[in-house]
Amino acid sequence: MAQKVLIKGNEAIGEAAIMAGCRHFFGYPITPQNEVAEYISKRMPEAGGCFLQAESELAAINMVYGAAGAGARVMTSSSSPGISLMQEGISYIAASELPCLIVNVMRGGPGLGGIQPSQADYFQATKGGGHGDYRLVVLAPSTIQEMIDLIVEGFDIADQYRNPVMILADGMLGQMMEPVVLEPKKRIERQLPAKDWATTGCDGSRPRNVINSLFMIPEQLEQRNLILIDKYKRIEQNEVQYQSIDIEGSDVVLVAYGTMARIARTVAKKAKELGISVGILRPITLWPFPYDAVAAIGDMPNVKAVFSIEMSAGQMVEDIKLGINGKKPVYFYGRTGGMIPSPNEILDYICDVLEVR
């Protein structure tokens, strides 16, 4: 086992990308993820790769599109308003089936919002922030070590399915430091297809390659969409990841991801002292969402209630309600705008609901 190092989340994103074989990065400054580009601007040339500070997020995501289309392992990183600007490009990337990694270190919104941690981009990330019927694979780490693992795996998932993958982190994960092992803990062996579709210059030894998403004939465009939908179904079948902690026999289940999943663990400990047993379901993939794992909670006789706790005004709670399908009461507790709920206020809310004092 390699030695542990103390590293900031944003810097770990950069190191993990290089570890994953990413050699092209295009980005634009925005707080609270600036250390990603700063770190990569130093490390990428050492690794023989290309770092380029784009003139805007629009340019950055379109550089990613060009580089991904040219066959490179490529990424960008931004935070909420910057990710909003990238949505057109992300839609094109999904439509053209180009693999790439997009990191969103979320901050409070809407509008210019603030620079403190938030999870208010859940809808944008998981429901399609750009136009058209498309999906991103959305991975939500809750520790810096897991961020490293998911970045490496994220690139592989992107290549395997020819689909953009988003790492949905938040300002807390980006800015905090943790001891980590700078190597991916687990790497699922995946059969990564050759990028024989990439624009590399055509010498006639293969049909020429065109990266495009314009289909003027509706029958053709529908066919394109059906191919994408079929791929999304395969991803839903194969790629769901979640962690369940002490759910069997628990009185209530908290569903939380990212930073909120860490707070959920403290809530569970404190609740135990009050005699309430709290299980935690932590979605790791936000799309595909672990609906089946949530549905199973609906069938657990001991569970009295399910809580979604989020740094938002209530976004993931909608997916939880879909999964529970009316079989249990689903409650929501969240703070938004960069406020982070404390374990005590969450516990108070749970006690209020359960009428425990």
Partner 1 sequence: MSIIFERPRSLTDKPFHYCPGCTHGLVHRLVAEVIDELDIQANTIGVEPVGCAVSAHDYFDIDMQEAAHGRAPAVATGIKRVWPDKVVFTYQGDGDLASIGMAEIVHAAARGERITTIFINNAIFGMTGGQMAPTSLLGQVTTTSPHGRDAGSAGYPIRVSELLATLQGAAYVARVSVHDVKNIARAKRSIKKAFTTQIEDKGFSIVEVLSTCPINWGMTPADSLKWLQDNMIPYYPLGELKVDGEGVINR
Residue 273: is it exposed, middle or buried by C-beta count within 10 angstroms (0-12/13-18/19+)?
Answer: exposed
The reply to whether 68 sits near partner 1 by the rule CB under 8 A is yes
| Residue with the two structure tokens 């969409």 | 225
Q: Is 88 in the site for partner 1 (CB under 8 A)?
A: yes
Task: Give the Cα separation of 65 and 58 in Å (integer).
Answer: 11
Supply 281's token pair.
Answer: 């379901």
Is 18 in contact with 151 (CB distance < 8 Å)?
no
Nearer to partner 1, 198 or 305 (CB): 198
Nearer to partner 1, 224 or 321 (CB): 224
Which of 113, 114, 108, 105 is CA-nearest to residue 140?
Answer: 105
Q: Which residue's CB is nearer to partner 1, number 68 or number 306?
A: 68
- HSE, CB side, 13 Å, CA atoms: give it for residue 227: 14
Query: DSSP letter string over 151-206?
Result: HHHHHHHHHHHT-EEEEEEEHHHHH-EEEEESS-S------PPP-TTS-S---SSS
- Subset of residues 178 to 237 that bind partner 1, contact rule: CB under 8 A: 199-204, 208-214
Q: Which is nearer to partner 1, 111 or 207 (CB)?
A: 207
Task: Based on the shown chain and the rule CB under 8 A, indicate whether residue 74 belongs to the binding site for partner 1.
Answer: yes
Buried b (16+ CB within 10 A) or exposed e, 315-353: bbbbbbbebbeeebebbbbbbbbbebbebeebbebbeee
Rank residues 206 and 234 by Cβ distance to partner 1 and give the closer one. Answer: 206
- Is there binding between residue 24 and partner 1 (CB under 8 A)? yes
CB of 71 to partner 1, least distance (A): 7
Q: State yes or no: residue 155 binds partner 1 (CB under 8 A).
A: no
Q: 55, 29 in Cβ contact below 8 A?
A: no
Q: Give whichever of 218 and 326 is closer to partner 1, judged by the CB atom.
A: 218
User: How many residues comprise the chain?
Assistant: 357
Confirm or reject binding of residue 340 to partner 1 (CB under 8 A): no
Between residues 66 and 298, which has the closer beta carbon with respect to partner 1? 66
Q: Which is nearer to partner 1, 92 or 332 (CB)?
A: 92
Instruction: Please work out the total of residues on this chain that contact partner 1, with binding judged by CB under 8 A.
Output: 39
Per CB under 8 A, does 62 bind partner 1? yes
Binding to partner 1 in span 109-148, by CB under 8 A: none
By CB under 8 A, tell whether 87 contacts partner 1.
Answer: no
Q: Which of 72, 144, 254, 263 touches partner 1 (CB under 8 A)? A: 72
The answer to whether 50 contacts partner 1 (rule: CB under 8 A) is yes
Cβ atoms 183, 19 nearer than 8 A:
yes
Distances (CA, A) of 210 to 98, 133, 198, 231: 12, 21, 8, 20
How far is residue 294 from each of residues 223, 251, 271, 286, 317, measured CA to CA in Å?
Answer: 33, 15, 21, 12, 11
> Among the candidate windows 86-94, 155-163, 234-242, 246-254, which touches partner 1 by CB under 8 A?
86-94
d(CA 227, CA 220): 11
- Per CB under 8 A, does 58 bind partner 1? yes
The span of 71-79, 162-170, 224-232, 298-306 binding partner 1 (CB under 8 A) equals 71-79
Verify binding: residue 89, partner 1, rule CB under 8 A: yes
Q: What's the min distance (Å) between Cβ of 194 and partner 1?
A: 16
Give the interface segment with partner 1, choosing from 12-20, 89-97, 137-145, 277-285 (CB under 8 A): 89-97
For binding to partner 1 (CB under 8 A), which residues are involved?
Answer: 24, 26, 50, 52, 54-56, 58-60, 62-72, 74, 88-89, 92, 96, 199-204, 208-214
